[in-house]
Amino acid sequence: MITLSNVLESVVEVTGIYPDAILGLRRNKEIAMSRHLFCYIARLHTNSSQEAIGEFLGGRHHTTVIHSLKTANDMIDTNYEVFGDMINHCNSIIAMRWKQDFTFTVTIPYGVEFTKVKAALEVFGVTIK
């Protein structure tokens, strides 16, 4: 079973932001993006509630997690090449280290070719069915 600590470890490796910063109070752009990524990956790979994710993130309210998930989805829609790559990298780290099969949904933004998304996911060992 994948834990929130496992997710944090993968996000730290992908973003280079220290765990203390992700769990802390600072809100600069890089740290906030790392938190959004953490929330998105945590909901994707764990059974943790929004309340549990918020508590893990330094006692934040569950509505903060909801906002973070919405922001992550917006970033996928508007900046898929960067944020999507970060998500895929986290997914591959989790798959390699904790050897758990998982299913996830990717929304392909308008104008992005399916074959490019498929090729990008296959680089990380993700098979599309």
Domain 4-123 coded CATH 1.10.1750.10? yes
pLDDT of residue 129: 65
- Each residue's pLDDT expressed in tens, for the chain with a length of 129 residues: 899 999 999 999 999 999 999 999 998 999 999 999 999 999 999 999 999 999 999 999 999 999 999 999 999 989 888 998 999 999 999 988 886 555 667 777 787 787 777 777 776 667 776
Distance CA 7, CA 90 (A): 8
Which residue, chain included where needed, has tokens 């490019």? 116
Domain boundaries, the chain: 4-123
pLDDT of residue 121: 73
